[in-house]
Structure 1
Amino acid sequence: MTIRRIAEEARLSGAVVGGGLVWLAGQVADDATADAEGQTADILRQIDALLAEAGTDKRALMSVTVVLADIRDAPAMNRAWDAWLDPGHKPARMTIEAPLVDPAWKVEITGVALAPR
């Protein structure tokens, strides 16, 4: 089996392609000063780029987990999500509240997509 790692950093890869799937690492905003809606939009842009590099796109997302530092940010996160989402290709999604590594981060998103054949 071939495994391809995308956007490798010191401790992780931004995405890993293998076994017919694209596994996304938890993505956080490049601009931690943005509000939850802005951070979400930034993260979704990063997800688009990682999926494109893997040879696929958001329509292939099967499952997404959204972590909010404060669950009260759910409406703001959902505004960015709804603007980005392809309504004909909604993934399964879970949203939870949990502390994030950097207190400035309001949102972290991970997911799994089908890889191109």
Structure 2
Amino acid sequence: MTDITRIKPGERMSQAASHGGLVWLAGQCGIAGQSVTEQTQDALAKVEALLLEAGSDKTRILSATIWLSDIASYDELNAVWDAWIPDGCAPARACGEARLAGEGYDVEIICVAAIA
């Protein structure tokens, strides 16, 4: 399995895995208890760092799935997302409401990107 690269592997999961010119990121969250704006900013900073480590960047994101603990915060999330994603680079994206893994988490962002 040398053609698969795992980034920040753990016992349960890796933060990212790449193969065949693509990188898949695990769900990235901000700090529990912060505002949706702050959690989104933190999650996107983690996404960006993982993409760079994998040899990619936010202009190469192919798809993003975003989970919110309350869909009423959709506009707050989008204000951060829209400022973060470069013009002309918007990926395919889905956003939905879900109960997240722990108390106080309100945003989780999952991406797939092409490697440069």
Q: How far did 1:19 drift?
A: 1.8
Quote the Cα distance in structure 2 between the aligned partners of 1:62 and 1:55: 14
Give the Cα separation in 2 of the matches to 1:113 and 1:95: 17
Q: Which residue of 1 is the match for residue 113 of structure 2?
A: 113
Deviation (angstroms), 1:115: 1.6
Q: State the alpha-carbon separation in 1 of the partners of residues 37 and 74 from structure 2.
A: 9
Give the C-alpha shift of residue 53 in structure 1. Answer: 0.2
Counterparts of 1:10 and 1:34, CA distance in 2: 27
Cα displacement string for residues 72-95 of structure 1 (whole angstroms, at most 9, x for unaligned residues): 011111111011111121101000
> Which ranges in structure 2 are unaligned for 5 or more consecutive residues?
none
User: Helix, strand or coil: the match of 2:26?
Assistant: strand
Using the TM superposition, give the Cα deviation of residue 33 of structure 1 relative to its aligned residue in structure 2, in angstroms: 2.2
Provide the aligned C-alpha RMSD in A: 1.0
Q: Is the 8 A contact 2:32 2:103 kept in 1?
A: no
Q: Distance in 2 between matches of 1:28 and 1:99?
A: 13
Mapped partners of 1:43, 1:9: distance in 2: 19
CA distance in 2, matches of 1:69, 1:58: 24
- Does residue 6 of the first structure (1) align with residue 7 of the second (2)? yes
Are the counterparts in 1 of residues 43 and 109 from structure 2 also a CA contact under 8 Å? yes
Count the aligned residue pairs.
115
SS of the equivalent of 1:64 reads: strand
Q: Is 1:16 matched with 2:11?
A: no
Structure 1 stretches of 4+ moved >4 Å: none
